[in-house]
Chain A
Amino acid sequence: MKYAYYPGCSLESTAREFGESTTLVAEALGIELVEIPDWNCCGATSGHALDHKLSIALPARTLGIAESMGLDVVAPCAACYNRMKSAEVAMKSDEALRSEINASLAKPYEGKITVRSALEVFTAPEVLKSVAENVRYPLRGLRPACYYGCLLLRPPRVVGFDDPEAPQRLDEAMRVVGAEPVEWYFKNECCGASLGISKSSITVKLTGDIISNAKKHGANCIVTVCPLCMTNLEMRQAAAGKMRGEDLTIPVFYFTELLGLAMEVPGIRKLFASHLVDVNSALDAIDQYQSMPAGVNS
């Protein structure tokens, strides 16, 4: 299995853990990721917020390069994935737009390759099976609230590899590595996304609603698939807790970190140091179970 790898801007800086854990886990599973040479920013929310065509042209350039490699693209960041996929759909369905945009690209995108999210790739049945075979440190005791957010699921006409109202893929993956995902009700609610920087009061409210619901249903961590969600959930939990008068402290993980942790992929644990919220409470919960005899969990 071989993919063109699109890290996107965040995975090189604020979401380094996501980028590194993705490549480490992929390697451990024998999935080859070849970084797309000279990739550019997908435009993110700001691209489509201000300029519809630009929001397709920017990802189209990267897709064109990937097409010349003859590989499907994997984009771990939910926002990048959403923008790349939107561009893929638009370029495939609108011939006039395709030729207009391709005219200014060195490597045109003709729609021969497709974009997948890392969650989609890692939870494909055969990959998940190989994850299960490689679990060395089952995450028993971990009760994650699987948080899908918006952009991986919506709009279903564009993305839609999972059910937009009752998504399951992340929960399945967590069960495979021995965790017990909690039943909660904010898995596909919005965290405020890019408003996190420009209108943080909204993000504080929304992340507060999300974390509060997760904790109320017994979660001891949140697992996410999006750097923006991660940043908002980590950065705003203190303020949100203060606003609601609740203790909303909770570790947040990228799902790839937890896959890597369960598979004991070397180099995963050191990524936890760069989290803004201390993850030790979650790791302790797992360790407690490790010391118990097998079967106690069930």
Chain B
Amino acid sequence: MTSLISDNAQSCCVLSPVQGPAGSELKRRIQELCGENVLECYQCGECTAGCPVAYAMDIAPNQVLRLAQLGLEDEVLSSSAIWLCAGCETCYTRCPKGVALSRVMDACRQLALERGVKPKELSIAKFHDQFLTEVRRFGRVHELTLTALYKMRTRDFFSDVFTGIQMFLKGKLALIPSLVKGRDEIRKLFARPRRGSSEK
């Protein structure tokens, strides 16, 4: 799958150069998915400096790009960093090279699902997946169903229950989902661009 072998982040990175397109597969796929050339990154660290979530990541945002530059695919796709990215776009806004790291993160998540890499932050992956399942089903997101189904999938029934009840009582969580008439059209949008799913 990858031209470069690395068992884990602590061990020595062993680069085994592969000639031809296979050697730059990860870079090429990222560029194909989001248009960003990871080689434009010169590793200044601005993204890590401004990232609100970097403190919680297993590898720093700039290291996601670094690993991608070296083609260390397994390490990138199995990192928590790509799932923890909140998409706040601070990195892209301040990047002196104009690299949209937020989009690279998106592409890496998509690749991880495509290649069957188990998301390191499963609960986040499940949330996104549940969200899109809702959109596919109703055309809109019904927050009550979304939360309920997400909680079932993550077996986390009790956190935020009180707030949920409070919201319900304040009329903020509608009981009946509102449906889009053009649901068939929306399903076509899902069908057209091929989409990996964490649940198959």
- Answer whether A and B touch in the complex at a CB cut-off of 8 Å: yes
Chain A positions within 8 Å of B, measured between CB atoms, are: 9-10, 12-16, 38-41, 43-54, 57-58, 61, 100-101, 104-106, 150-151, 153-156, 164-165, 189-190, 192-195, 197-202, 206, 235, 273-276
A57 vs B52: C-alpha distance when bound (angstroms)? 29
Q: Given the interface contacts A9-B141, A50-B132, A199-B123, does A164 sit within 8 Å of B93 by beta carbon? A: yes
Chain B positions within 8 Å of A, measured between CB atoms, are: 33-34, 52-53, 56, 84, 86-90, 92-93, 100, 102-103, 106-107, 109-110, 113, 121, 123-124, 126-129, 131-132, 134-135, 139-144, 147, 150, 159-160, 163, 166-167, 170-174, 178, 180-182, 185-186, 188-190, 192-193, 195-196
Partner of A54, one of B134, B159, B171, B190: B190
Which residues of chain B are near A40, meaning CB under 8 Å? 135, 139-140, 180, 182, 186
Which residues of chain A are near B84, meaning CB under 8 Å? 195, 199, 202
28 intermolecular pairs with C-beta atoms under 8 Å apart:
A16-B171, A38-B180, A40-B139, A40-B180, A44-B131, A45-B87, A46-B131, A50-B109, A52-B103, A52-B107, A53-B193, A57-B192, A100-B192, A101-B192, A104-B188, A150-B90, A155-B100, A165-B93, A192-B52, A193-B86, A194-B87, A194-B127, A194-B128, A198-B121, A198-B124, A198-B126, A206-B52, A235-B163
A49 vs B88: C-alpha distance when bound (angstroms)? 12
Instruction: Tell whether, in the assembled complex, residue B159 and residue A200 are in contact, meaning their CB atoms are under 8 Å apart.
Output: yes
Instruction: Tell whether, in the assembled complex, residue A58 and residue B182 are in contact, meaning their CB atoms are under 8 Å apart.
Output: no
Instruction: Tell whether, in the assembled complex, residue B160 and residue A200 are in contact, meaning their CB atoms are under 8 Å apart.
Output: yes
Which residues of chain B are near A198, meaning CB under 8 Å? 121, 123-124, 126-128, 150
Which residues of chain A are near B56, meaning CB under 8 Å? 201-202
Closest to B113 in A: A50
Interchain nearest-CB distance for B127 vs A (Å): 4
Partner of B34, one of A45, A52, A274: A52
